[in-house]
Amino acid sequence: MTIRETLRSATERLELHHVSNSRLTAEVLLAHSLSVSREHLYAHDDRWLTDEEAQTLENFIYDRIGGVPLQYIVGRQEFYGRYFHVNPAVLIPRPETEYIVEAVLEARETAEQSVCPPFILDIGTGSGCIAVTLALEIPDATVFAADISEAALQVARENAGSLGAKVGFVCMDMLDAVNGRFDFIVSNPPYVRRSEITWLQREVREHEPHVALFAADDELEGYRRLVRGAEDMLNPAGFLIMAVGLGMADGVQALFGAAWTKLPTRKDLQGIPRTVIAKKKPLR
């Protein structure tokens, strides 16, 4: 079949199996099978596929119909304008996680934070999207990133290497093995309640790593550990910035005691709080 015919037939099959954005998905999968851009498909739509190319596409369509997220099939996801390699060992970076990056960049504008090159720690780095982005956006920063999953750290290291970011990686449980002082501690921790597993999209539930999704039985426990740890590890006037799940912002904010100044949450376009921010009080 030609590219034009293949696209039509792939779109129809994806549609039949209720895959969303079937035409776009067909284009992305075919372009990935041929290692070309989507634009290339339109410029050469009368070219015939080889048997091998057709088989590769077939495998990709089979996976997508079976619920494998498109990002895992093509192996990448855009975050803050850069492409990150992803595989099933890491959460696929979400657009709302970019609020963490924005919050750090904005906090850097304040008087105390803009003076010195900052020390930044990202807990639960996954693909490394936050840590790598911050290292590239703040070139004089010293950035460390931690995860409990060695498989995730492998992906994060690969992304730091391919994007040219200098990040130090460490495998650890939350802040347990940290020895140092930071100006920013950031985290997008697992926050989905186990009881909510059936509400998750099939793609997420069956293919994204559960260690990245699910909180402990008490979904605030991870946040409690982060707040407690950050109280010791942050420099005075340092920031703790954490992503929160739906309806969790108030509960997370209530964890901050007298040592902290709570700052306004960052909300998404629908007005849902996505990022909780607190500043450690400066020494008197």
Residues near ligand SAM, by CB under 6 A = 91, 93, 97, 123-127, 129-130, 146-149, 152, 173-174, 188-190, 211-212
Judged by beta carbon, residue 97 or residue 275, the one nearer ligand SAM is: 97
Pick the closer one to ligand SAM by CB: 125 or 275.
125
Least distance between ligand SAM and beta carbon 5 (Å)? 38
Residue with tokens 């460390």: 144
3-class secondary structure per residue, 32-80: HHHCCCHHHHHHCCCCECCHHHHHHHHHHHHHHHCCCCHHHHHCEEEEC
With respect to ligand SAM, which residue has the nearer C-beta, 14 or 131?
131
Q: In the bound complex, what is the minimum distance in angstroms from residue 108's beta carbon to ligand SAM?
A: 20
Taking the complex as a whole, the smallest distance from the CB of residue 215 to ligand SAM amounts, in Å, to: 9
Give 26 or 266: the residue with its C-beta nearer to ligand SAM.
266
User: Strand 234-243 and strand 273-280: pairing?
Assistant: antiparallel
Rounded least distance, CB 216 to ligand SAM, Å: 9
49/91 with CB nearer ligand SAM: 91
User: Please, which residue, 22 or 127, has the CB nearer to ligand SAM?
Assistant: 127
Q: Are 241 and 274 contacting, i.e. CB atoms less than 8 angstroms apart? A: no
DSSP state of 256: -
Measure CA 14 to chain center: 27
Question: Beta 260-267 vs 273-280: how paired, if at all?
Answer: antiparallel
172 is written with which tokens? 């650890």
Q: Could you tell me the smallest distance in angstroms from the CB atom of residue 171 to ligand SAM?
A: 8
State the minimum distance, in angstroms, from the CB of residue 212 to ligand SAM: 4
3 state SS of 276: strand
CB of 261 to ligand SAM, least distance (A): 25
Q: Which two tokens stand for residue 254?
A: 């209530």
Q: What angle do CA 202, 204, 83 make, to 5 degrees?
A: 135
CB 132 within 8 A of CB 167: yes
Choice between 155 and 278, CB closer to ligand SAM: 155
Cβ nearer to ligand SAM, comparing 126 with 273 = 126
Residue 147 bridge partners (DSSP): 171
Query: E-assigned strands of 86-155?
Result: 119-123, 142-147
Is the distance from CB of 144 to CB of 120 less than 8 angstroms? yes
Give the shortest CB-126-to-ligand SAM separation in angstroms. Answer: 3
Which H helix or E strand runs over 104? helix 98-107
